[in-house]
Amino acid sequence: MTQGIQAKKKQADAEMLSRIIAEGMLEKKGIDVVIMDLRKAKNAVTDFFVICSGNSDTQVEALMNSVEEQVHKHLGEWPWQKEGKANREWILLDYVNVVAHIFKKDRRQFYGLEELWGDAETIHVENSAFSPSHS
């Protein structure tokens, strides 16, 4: 495969992964699910962030489990790295080119990732309907 074809495949894979992660979040009623396309953002550490909130420790953990199950079911992958499971306030699932952030509602507001990456294209996800917007 040429480098151009490999790069396009990687982008398509990252887009598909971000959508599967969002679906996993929606399955457990994740609140305010957002996909942030960071590919054109300056100094981005990954291609996409997928962010959602949960109302309780229990829901945050259920969201994490759902994301992991959906990604493994559809792509056969597990996160490369996982952080925050012990405190269930902000769980990060790192799939290298896509990073899932699952916040307890108040923590999400406190850290404000959407504001930090304001130059990213933001897609608000509701019930499998992906609607692009620019924040």
What residues does each domain of the chain span? 3-134
Q: What is the pTM of this model?
A: 0.85
CA separation, residue 82 to residues 44, 100, 127, 134 (Å)? 19, 10, 26, 29
Asked if the model's pLDDT at residue 62 lies above 90, the reply is yes
Mean pLDDT of 98-112: 93
Confidence of residue 133 (pLDDT cuts 50, 70, 90): very low
For domain 3-134, give its CATH number from 3.30.460.10, 3.90.930.12, 3.40.366.10, 3.10.20.30. Answer: 3.30.460.10
Distance separating alpha carbons of residues 95 and 93, to the nearest angstrom: 6
Confidence of residue 134 (pLDDT cuts 50, 70, 90): very low
Mean pLDDT of 36-59: 93
**pLDDT at site 135:** 40
Which of 4-8, 94-98, 117-121 is the least confident region?
4-8
**pLDDT at site 127:** 65
Confidence of residue 43 (pLDDT cuts 50, 70, 90): confident
Beta carbons within 8 Å of 119's beta carbon, 6+ residues apart: 40, 41, 42
